[in-house]
Amino acid sequence: MKVAIIGAGFSGLAAGLELAKNGAEVEIFESQDKVGGLAVGFKEENWDWTAEKFYHHIFTNDSEIISLSIENGIAPKFSRPKTCVYWHQKTYPFDSPIDLLKFPGLNLIDKLRMGLVLAVFKLIPNGKFLERWTAENGLKFLIGENGYKVIWEPLLTGKFSEFSSKVNLAWFWARIKKRTSSLGTFPGGFQTLADRLAGKISGLGGKIHLNIRVDNDDLQNKFDAVLSTHTFFPTPYSLLPTPYLDAHVLFLELNQSFLPPNIYWLNILDRKFPFLVVCEHTNFVGKENFGGKYLLYIGNYLPKNHRLFTLPPEKVVQEFLPWLIKINLEFSRKNIDKYYVFHGKNAQPVMTVNYSRQIPQVKISDKLYGINQAMIYPWDRGINYAAELGKRAARMIINDL
């Protein structure tokens, strides 16, 4: 049984490992120079760990990737860094019911309504029935106009741009349902786990080809089955049109901390800012793993034609710097030792109303199978469900062949 896999992200790696363990001859074809997909990492000379190009963490309930990592000798590490919001020129904790009650931007009725709705969302076992409503209309009705306007409207607009009014409420439910206070990473970074899985596949006789683009039709002529993990499947097997946004990340290596200690995640509620989130990686995993340097992500999800994708890194730094100084008045250009800009194509699918009706079957044709992050609905993109989907597709191929 010869199986080709297009893409060496975590869905392709999980599928490849499952197939190889069951005796298939597996070949994975990846266009990048590393395995890992959107969780791919990089490393400077003075770092002991790799850092992801696009900020990543896992939750304590991400059972698939946790079990997969432990089975392959890399147990995740969990901690409880703080999540905050930036509102009216100040940073406020926003990580617990107590934080919500203390937040000055809402009145008591707003806080009680929001707290009740979020608690109920946590308890609902399956929120797919919520997909008939948009998140915008559903949240306005459930938590009120003011609660929506202050907290969720700027976050939805920042994440989905012109598609913010189209995202369905089931997607929002899944974000609330899934989140845990403790967050996890893997010793050495996510790249370490990706490399370990790739090594296991190779050890079972599989082959992984990097820096190569392949033609789907050619592969179908040479293999018994082809599994594509691309966002868009080859014509004429394309999905119904799912809008996608691209990830834009300015990554900074700093000589001093930007956020207060233990604050990992800062959501920006002011949409005048040119970015959505500030994430201090070393408040989560520790600067000792990165030569004593402080690592900062400034993240966005943007339409593909957005002007930021046309700017060289230095221009992005110049454009973002005044806004970063608004958050930390002591910050300056001299605190930046190195900087990079990363562009993640098709990083965020837009889950529209009644989205479940347009999710295709994994098996596309006699030899062709297809999976991608838009198919893990209502859950949002992430390596846990990518791995789960990859393993499920592999078992389907095994059963068919």
pLDDT tens figures, 12-33: 999 999 999 999 999 999 999 9
Instruction: Decide if pLDDT at 37 tops 70.
Output: yes
Identify the CATH class of 2-44+188-241+359-400.
Answer: alpha beta
Residue 91 is classified by DSSP as: E
Quote the pTM value.
Answer: 0.94
pLDDT, average across residues 340-362: 92
- Over range 198-218, report the average pLDDT: 94
Q: At what angle do helices 169-178 and 135-143 cross, to 10 degrees?
A: 70
The Cα–Cα gap between 90 and 113 comes to 24
Which pLDDT belongs to residue 374? Answer: 86
Tens-place pLDDT, residues 84-116? 999 999 999 999 999 999 999 999 999 999 999
Average of pLDDT values for 181-196? 97
Angle at Cα 135 formed by Cα 240 and Cα 165, nearest 5°? 65
**What are the angstrom distances between the C-alpha of 324 and each of 181, 296, 342?**
26, 11, 18
- Judged against a pLDDT cut of 50, whether residue 193 lies above it is answered with yes
pLDDT(320) > 60 = yes
When mean pLDDT is compared over 209-223, 232-246, 276-290, the highest value belongs to 276-290
What is the reported pLDDT for 82?
Answer: 96
The rounded distance, in Å, linking the Cα atoms of 309 and 322 is: 19
Judge whether residue 361 has pLDDT over 70: yes
Distance separating alpha carbons of residues 401 and 395, to the nearest angstrom: 10
- What ranges do the domains of the chain cover? 2-44+188-241+359-400, 51-61+75-95+181-187+244-349, 97-170
pLDDT tens profile 223-258: 999 999 986 655 444 555 678 999 999 999 999 999
> Is 88 in a helix, a strand, or coil?
coil
The superfamily in CATH containing domain 51-61+75-95+181-187+244-349 is Protoporphyrinogen oxidase, mitochondrial; domain 2 (3.90.660.20)
Closest CA to 39 of 384, 315, 359: 384
pLDDT on residue 325: 98
The residues near 214 (Cβ < 8 Å, ≥ 6 apart) are 4, 6, 29
* Range with the poorest average pLDDT among 188-192, 237-241, 250-254, 355-359: 237-241
Predicted confidence (pLDDT) per residue in 140-152, tens digit:
999 999 999 999 9
Whose tokens are 């846990």? That residue is 384
Q: pLDDT at position 241, please? A: 65
Mean pLDDT of the chain: 95
**Six-digit token string for 369:** 């199978």
Q: Is the pLDDT of residue 319 over 50?
A: yes
* Residues 103, 82: Cα–Cα separation, whole Å: 15
Under 8 Å between Cβ of 116 and 108: no
Distances (CA, A) of 168 to 55, 120, 130, 364: 24, 17, 7, 26
